[in-house]
Structure 1
């Protein structure tokens, strides 16, 4: 694999700075000038790599997808005996998953999907990519006799609906004992979809 170009490095740095500004001030208040200030550069440099705030938002959605994908890059845990699928589901229903991307930034981007077809398409691609990773994990588990499900894609879709609904709902609550009990209950429901009981 070759070295990343200066453009790729600068674009990555700019998107990360945009994410930090959006976390602090809200996506609606994030501007190219504020991103430049966060980076300690002139606004013209940000404009050189991203011609508009919308272009930065497209980059941010890709950034979000890569952060979520990182929770799939795991191997069987020799210490716990957990398989790849078990670890994936543990990640999906975990504090780590919930904190990979700050809720305000994620939902701020998502609301723009109702106004901008390109952002809507980017969000659809994000969700389809994440579902395809779960489909592959389920397929691998089927081959190992770990789960018993006919349609891996349908199971992955239902599990993601459960995940997304759970975090939308749980984002309204403090992370206390009741929160984690609900989280575990939703994870068990995901295992039930896969027809394998995990306690």
Structure 2
């Protein structure tokens, strides 16, 4: 019988090759041929699964983000249904920090994509107007906290969510460069979160 191919596994194999190249030297000059060689497949097969070079980069980023979302969901699962909006917001923000090897590697790949997108307007345009899913999520969590009387009623939930996410993104770079330790970064996030939610030290867990 002909061997059945796991197409999702093959797409992941190729995407992981893109990620490895990204962390080693960036994506500015990465070619389809280089990705094919790194993945151990033919250039023809790579094009079959992803199409053009731009489609390959966007596809690899999509798989990376889906992975990150799944990991975050697994780590936050124990908070589901607790009504602890502060802890859930904190957990979402901690997913954005390179606090372990897996998250550090993911953020390094994101940095490479960011630099590539700055240099390529067509790629940047493809992601510029994407949905702000994280901002929507954190906004909703803050609003739920307000309804439950656990968050300050006078804050603008949308503005606070955008500020928290921007702060977490800024901390990514300083941590990757070794300018801030994980403890320092987490303390800064806690300081900002405590501006919004009623502080309760028993709720904190890294």
Same fold (TM over 0.5): yes
Deviations 1:37-69 (A, max 9, x none): 233221111122233322111113323332332
* Structure 2, gaps ≥5 residues long: 202-206
After superposition, give the CA deviation of every residue in 1:137-160 in whole Å (9 maximum; x if it has no partner). Answer: 333333433322542221110001
3-state SS of 1:197 partner: coil
In the alignment, which residue of structure 2 is the partner of 1:124?
Answer: 128
Whether 2:130 is the aligned partner of 1:113: answer no
CA RMSD of aligned residues (A): 3.3
Tell me the TM-score normalised to structure 1 length: 0.75
- Structure 1 residues without counterparts, runs of 5 or longer: none
Matches within 5 A, 1:1-199: 8-73=8-73, 74-77=76-79, 83-93=87-97, 95-96=99-100, 98-99=103-104, 101-103=106-108, 105-125=109-129, 128-149=132-153, 150-173=155-178, 179-197=181-199, 199=201
Q: Secondary structure at the match of 2:194?
A: helix
Deviates more, 1:161-170 or 1:146-155: 146-155
Contact kept, 8 Å, 2:32 with 2:53, in 1: the verdict is yes
Report deviation, 1:183.
1.0
Q: Deviations over 1:92-123 (max 9, x none)?
A: 456048426142x2222112333333422344
Contact 1:76 1:84 in 2 (8 A): no
How far apart are residue 72 of structure 1 and its match? 4.1
Residues 44 and 94 of structure 1: CA distance in aligned 2, closer, same or farther (over 3 Å): closer
Alignment TM-score, normalising by the size of structure 2: 0.72
**Higher relative contact order (Cα pairs below 8 Å, separated by 6+ residues):** 2
Greater mean deviation of Cα atoms: 36-45 or 7-16 = 7-16
Aligned residue-pair number:
190
